[in-house]
Chains A and B, each alone.
Chain A
Amino acid sequence: MSAPLLSIEGVSVELPTPRGLLRAVDRVDLTLEAGRTLGVVGESGCGKTMLSRAILQLLPKRAKLDGRVMFGGRDLAGLSREALRRLRGPELAVVFQDPMTSLNPVLTIGTQIVETLQVHLGMSGIAATKRGAELLAAVGIPAPEQRLRQYPSQLSGGMRQRVAIAIALSCEPKLLIADEPTTALDVTVQAQILDLLAREQQRRHMAMILITHDLGVVAGRTDEVAVMYAGRVVERAPTPRLFAHMRMPYTEALLAAIPRLDSAPHTPLPAIGGRPPDPTRPLPGCSFAPRCRYVEDDCRAAKPPLADPERAGSLYACWHPR
């Protein structure tokens, strides 16, 4: 087997805060092959966004990154700003939750797409404009030539997210990181955008990391899922396997807490009590232990490693797996 497209090795991210050092990402290992989709699932503060920023080398200035982010055989942490700039676009692209934060409100859609194509692919203005319209059409935007002349504020949230996707796809990246790409959108629009991402990914044989808080979003649309809790990956498995047999009690509890469409109204939800631990005060044992219904004494004493003791392709960090 060839080397994976992306390999994250022992990545930690620490941020100084007034309350002390906050370990947002704690020794994460992940690999991703070309053309595959990895879902990263977790609740707010679990470190999923910081992990994606670490891959993109877009961490806040004061953040400290440990470990290696190997992409196409290079360690991204060792690259110069200029080398990274050339990489973002043709190799690595990102779609954020709120398209208004990535689109420039005072430039037309056309200017923003054309600029990307000119800078990264060296296209002429005329060729780039033509390509821009094709890209907008490909992401399902009607009347693309007219849209090129419009400003982001003239589009709906769903249309803006399509534009952001068109720009991200414009240079044919090898890896697309989609960080909660549909969280700000309505449910009927969410389904369309997820379909669009899946279609374009297959067509372009692009790898994708889909970051979300919603287990429902990753279920039908990823090859593999990594579940994060308190900065660590606590379970990782091929998607069908994960849903068929959840080993880590947190994953199981997270799924159980989602209201189900097939249960009767007024069915009490199995809620997870308490809340995640303070990231500036790491626990010596398993971070989920204080909320875990299966907790035993050894859980509080030592952190379980992320491992695959059965060699079944299903990794979990738990002393007492389900």
Chain B
Amino acid sequence: MSALLSLENLTVEYAVGGRSLFAVSDVSLHVDRGETLGLVGESGCGKSTLGRAVLQLRRPTGGKVVFDGTELTGLGAEKMRLMRRRLQLIFQDPIASLNPRRRIGDIIAEPLIIVGVTDKAERDRRVREVMTAVGLDPDVAMGRLPHEFSGGQCQRICIARALILEPELVICDEPVSALDVSIRAQILNLLEEMKRRYGLTLLFIAHDLAVVKAVSDRIAVMYLGKLCEIAPTERLFAQPAHPYTALLLDAIPVPDPTVRPATNLAVGEPPSPLDPPSGCRFRTRCPRADRQCAAEVPPLREVAAGQFAACHHPLTGPA
């Protein structure tokens, strides 16, 4: 497989009160064509900023974003605009992502107008096709306004709008976290189905590891702007290498009363990203931290086939 998207030493800085906040700090990873890469981490870890930086909605301050051989980081506004039809984004809040005054049919057709499909009948045909694909009845829904739909239906509309240009890469930023459990499963299944049908590559950003596991081929874990670990999904869950990944796994509440909730999890909360710890950023909460962790930033190293961790004392080593 070849990489459709690759990030090389990607860095995104924000200026906050005269200081710089490294929302994304020196992250390198790639997403193969046809693959779903899950990206997890807690709030403030930089996962959403990373998604935006891929689309150049937030210009990176360092490093490269390469999409299908083209470096997006240096692209001019017009070329980037043309490129965007190949890359789409789905947001967390489906209701806020839709213009409340426009009809559903027009919202979904808008990308076609932007790329210059002038034939109304052709637009209509494609809108109907994509609406049917995401489980909306075009005859009922096209003429309605967003407020007439529930959150789950609005997310279907957002997915239809993202897919109408038949993009290659779709970045899903917490696409189900605003939805109820029963609706969440519908949307996750829909994303899987759409991936097969349209041959999509997905970057799936979420804080919920169980949700990410359900859809991802590989998972990348971020903490305070840094990539901690990246591994094939099954491997990451079976044998996490980074202590932060292990903490995240232990913290998931399991819907089974015979499983005792983990107690004495790593104490404290993530430190301020404005003032990250020296060396390994997780060391202030890590049970394995020592002097080396404070002195040196751990590089991302392969600890097993396809499993990379940025840790001086990984939980698993090469077999």
Contacts and interface: CB of A to CB of B under 8 A. Distances in A.
A43 interface: yes
Contacts of B234: 264-265
Interface string B258-289: 11111101110110000000000000000000
A32 B88 CA distance: 50
Contacts of B146: none
Interface in A86-120: none
Interface string A280-310: 0000000000000000000000000000000
Contacts of B150: 275
Interface in A236-259: 239-240, 243, 253-255, 257-259
B214 A220 contact: no
Interface residues of B, number: 49
Contacts of B248: 187-188
Contacts of A10: none
Contacts of A43: 180-182
A257 B214 contact: no
A214 B253 contact: yes
Interface string B182-197: 1111101100100000
Contacts of B207: 186-187
A186 B257 CA distance: 22
A254 to B, nearest CB: 6
Nearest to B151: A44
A189 B265 CA distance: 9
A215 B265 CA distance: 21
A157 B270 CA distance: 11
A219 B263 contact: no
A188 B182 contact: no
A187 B255 contact: no
B210 A195 contact: no
Interface string A186-230: 111111101100000000000000000111110111000000000
Contacts of B260: 220
Contacts of B181: 43, 213-215, 254, 257-258
B10 interface: no
B192 A266 contact: yes
Chain A: interface residue count, which band?
35 or more
Nearest to A253: B182
Given A265-B214, A265-B215, A273-B186, A255 B255 contact: yes
Given A254-B182, A258-B181, A239 B257 contact: yes
A228 to B, nearest CB: 13
B185 A219 contact: no
Contacts of A192: 265, 267
Contacts, number: 135
A141 to B, nearest CB: 11
A256 to B, nearest CB: 8
Interface in A143-163: 156-159
B254 A261 contact: yes
Interface string B223-248: 00000000001100100000000011
A268 interface: yes
B262 A216 contact: no
A7 B265 CA distance: 36
Contact of B184 (A159, A257, A260, A273): A257
Given A220-B253, A258-B181, A186 B186 contact: no
Contacts of A190: 251, 253
Nearest to B42: A186
B185 A272 contact: yes
A270 interface: yes
B78 to A, nearest CB: 38
Contacts of B110: none
A240 B257 contact: yes
B216 interface: yes
B211 interface: yes
A267 interface: yes
6 contacts: A44-B180, A186-B43, A188-B251, A259-B214, A266-B192, A269-B188
Given A221-B261, A266-B215, 15 more contacts: A187-B207, A191-B251, A191-B265, A192-B265, A213-B181, A214-B255, A219-B253, A219-B254, A240-B258, A243-B255, A243-B256, A258-B210, A259-B185, A264-B234, A272-B185
Interface of B: 42-43, 150, 152, 180-186, 188-189, 192, 207-211, 213-217, 233-234, 237, 247-263, 265-267, 269-270
Interface of A: 43-44, 156-159, 186-192, 194-195, 213-217, 219-221, 239-240, 243, 253-255, 257-261, 263-273, 275
CB-CB nearest 10 A-B residue pairs:
A216-B253, A271-B185, A272-B182, A269-B185, A186-B42, A259-B214, A43-B180, A257-B185, A220-B261, A215-B255
